[in-house]
Amino acid sequence: MKWIPKKPWRQKTGPVARARAGSVATETEGTQKTLERIISKAGAGSRTQARTWIHNRQVQVNGKVIENPDLWVDSKRDKILLDGKPLRKRQHIYILLYKPTGYITTFKDPEGRPTVYDLIKEIDQFVSPVGRLDLDTSGLLIMTNDTQFGERMTNPEHKVAKTYLLKCNSLLSDEALEKLRTGVELSDGPTRPAVVKRVRDSGKYTHLEITITEGRNRQVRRMIEALDSKVLKLVRTQIGPVEFGDLKIGEWRELESEELAGLIATPTRTRTSAPAPGSRTRETSRSPRRPDAPK
Ligand code: URA
């Protein structure tokens, strides 16, 4: 907190005094933010939850209960307690981004192309993508500062199922789809069995839904290339139990705790055999096509 002697409330006891004086400061860059924001940025909960905790007198700043969520505090200097426990400086954060095409997943691009970090500017903790999505692929991307979680999710042994919708530039035969199901030979070895569903054929194009449990570089594109075809459009629609929900393209949200628990438990959804006739599969119960699903 900067020292500004002309303001009497600043000369007393800092934020607590300001709260009493009913002063609400504007937010600035750096470690000074409203109490509500600092609590939510620390990953303790949403801003609405933070307001509730403050309202319920569960939050103390420098030893005093604070009831003003808009109080300006300094996360470095002020001692903030939630339910009597210090707010951890860096809690884990897990976000789900609906990546559009044209964005790379690295932090900086020497060619100056847009990166996924341009879409999550509000997040003031450094998060990394869990796995990869190509420049030309859109869809779900998890980003987190929890490196252990990231490693677990990208470990092929953990077998997190990832589902994609794709359009390829030729009509694929049933035999070709069967090859995808059993595994195709790539330069870095054969692929694991995949769940493959023909969504539709339109003109000279085939639309597929494919679920894989590996995350090799350009894997889906290379699998289709192994069948002498080419992916024209690719969208990741599901990661383990995590789906789009109401997320719009270019937007992000935090993962729900159930989603996180589901990812950690990783119910592998890969079904290698055909469903019973007439059974209601995840595919048939899917909500309508995403706005950017391959047309
Ligand atoms: N497979 C690909 O080929 N590309 C992606 O971005 C993701 C999976």
Whether residue 232 lies inside any domain: the answer is yes
For 50, the token pair is: 């933070």
Mutation test residue for ligand 1: of 130, 137, 154, the one with most atoms within 8 Å of CB:
137
Domain residue limits at 34: 8-86
Question: How confident is the model over 67-79, as a mean pLDDT?
Answer: 91
Q: Answer for the pair 19, 63: CB distance below 8 angstroms, yes or no.
A: no
Q: What number is the average pLDDT over the span 138-149? A: 93
- What is the distance in A from the centroid of ligand 1 to the CA of 201? 21
C-alpha 155/C-alpha 244 separation (Å) is 23
Which of 27, 58, 86 is the endpoint of a domain?
Answer: 86
Chain segment 100-131, per-residue pLDDT in tens: 999 999 988 899 999 999 999 999 788 899 99
Based on the fold, state whether residues 245 and 219 are members of the same structural domain. Answer: yes
Catalytic residue chosen out of the listed positions 134, 146, 174, 228: 134
pTM: 0.65
Mean of pLDDT values over 131-142: 96
Say yes or no to pLDDT of 241 above 60.
yes
Q: Is 81 exposed, middle or buried (0-12, 13-18, 19+ CB in 10 A)?
A: middle
Assess whether the C-beta atom of 233 lies below 6 angstroms from ligand 1. Answer: no
Mean pLDDT, to the nearest integer, of 131-158? 92
Do both 169 and 105 map to the same domain?
yes
Rounded to the nearest angstrom, the distance between the alpha carbon of 202 and the centre of ligand 1 is 22
What count of residues does the chain have? 295
Give the pair of three-digit tokens for residue 291.
């706005």
Q: Which two tokens stand for residue 75?
A: 């996360």
Q: Is 283 part of any domain?
A: no
Residue 77, amino acid: R
Residues 6+ apart with CB under 8 A from 21: 9
Q: What are 85's two structure tokens?
A: 């426990």
Do 57 and 195 lie in a common domain?
no
Considering the domain architecture, whether residues 220 and 177 belong to the same structural domain is answered as: yes
Q: How far is the CA of 148 from the centre of ligand 1 (A)?
A: 23
Check if 19 has its Cβ closer than 6 Å to any atom of ligand 1: no
Which atom belonging to ligand 1 lies closest to the Cα atom of 221? Answer: 3
Which pLDDT score, from 0 to 100, does residue 11 have?
Answer: 29
Is residue 291 domain-resident?
Answer: no
3-state DSSP of the chain: CCCCCCCHHHHCCCHHHHHHCCCCCCCCCCCEEEHHHHHHHCCCCCHHHHHHHHHCCCEEECCEECCCCCCEEECCCCCEEECCEECCCCCCCEEEEEECCCCECCCCCCCCCCEHHHHCCCCCCCCEECCCCCCCEEEEEEEECCHHHHHHHHCHHHCCCEEEEEEECCCCCHHHHHHHHHCCEECCEECCCCEEEEEEEECCEEEEEEEECCCCCCHHHHHHHCCCCCEEEEEEEEECCEECCCCCCCCEEECCHHHHHHHHHCCCCCCCCCCCCCCCCCCCCCCCCCCCCCC
| Residue 259 domain-assigned (yes or no) | yes
Could you tell me if 136 and 263 are in contact, meaning their C-beta atoms sit under 8 angstroms apart?
no
Based on the fold, state whether residues 82 and 98 are members of the same structural domain.
no
Q: Is 163 inside a domain boundary?
A: yes
Tell me, using a 6 A CB cutoff, whether residue 34 lines ligand 1: no
Boundary (domain end) residue, out of 86, 106, 123: 86
Nearest CA to ligand 1 atom 7: 133
Task: Specify whether 66 is located in the same domain as 200.
Answer: no
Residue 51 lies in a domain: yes
Of 41, 67, 86, the residue that ends a domain is 86
Same domain? 124 vs 77: no
Q: Quick one: 112 and 234 in the same domain?
A: yes
Q: Kindly state whether residues 180 and 44 are assigned to the same domain.
A: no
Distance 215 CA to ligand 1 centre (A): 8
For residue 134 and ligand 1, the question of a CB distance below 6 A is answered with yes
Tell whether 75 and 52 lie within a shared domain. Answer: yes
| Ligand 1 centre distance from Cα of residue 50 (Å) | 38
268: confidence class by pLDDT, cuts 50, 70, 90: very low
Is 285 part of a structural domain of the chain?
no
**The CATH number of the domain where 41 resides is what?**
3.10.290.10
CATH number at residue 160: 3.30.2350.10
**Residues 120 and 219 occupy one common structural domain:** yes
Q: Do the domain assignments include residue 16?
A: yes
Ligand 1 atom nearest to CA at 133: 6
In this prediction, residue 242 has a pLDDT band, given cuts at 50, 70 and 90, of very high
Q: Is the CB of 140 under 6 A from ligand 1?
A: no
CA distances from 223 to 33, 67, 192, 212 (A): 49, 57, 11, 11
Give the mutation target among 98, 219, 224, 292 for probing the ligand 1 site: most ligand atoms within 8 A of CB: 219
Total of domains in the chain? 2
Q: 134 catalytic, yes or no?
A: yes
| Residues forming a β-bridge with 164 | 210, 236
Indicate whether 232 and 157 sit together in one domain.
Answer: yes
Q: Does residue 268 contact residue 161 with C-beta atoms inside 8 Å? A: yes
The yes-or-no verdict on residue 25 having pLDDT over 80 is: no
